[in-house]
Amino acid sequence: MRFYKTCLYCDKELIGRTDKKFCDPQCKSAYQYQQGKEHPERFYNKVDNQLKLNRKILKEYNKGGKVILRAELLKEQGFNPNFITHYWKNGKGDTYLFVYEYGFLKKRENNKEKYVLIKWQEYME
């Protein structure tokens, strides 16, 4: 029993297996790309993409282990502090929010919002 008689992308006649959907890998790739463009992004993908972007930004700005930056600088790059993976509370009661191994603490200095950036350490477990 044949499910598809023609390629789902280019409509060429299919030869070979009865459950074949595409005539070649290029048509399969083009079809999947087209489907991705036509259907809205899933919630999971949006969250995952934002987490990856947040991690990339935190990693880029935290080269020294501990850095203090203006919040607007990170937000201009696309950083969204609402997307985190976990948190850690230090002995002083400050709560650091983490995106994988890179963390940040919201702070106000001179009436400006800033972030203290840190990297996860073994003692934080």
Q: pLDDT tens digits for 78-99?
A: 999 999 999 999 999 999 999 9
Spatial contact of 2 and 13, defined as CB atoms under 8 Å apart: no
Distance CA 73, CA 23 (A): 49
Q: In the β-sheet with 95-99, what is the strand arrangement from edge to edge?
A: 66-70, 112-119, 102-109, 95-99, 86-89
Assessment of whether the complete model's pTM goes beyond 0.85: no
Q: Please give the single-letter amino acid code of residue 41.
A: E
Q: pLDDT tens digits for 28-63?
A: 999 998 887 777 677 888 899 999 999 999 999 998
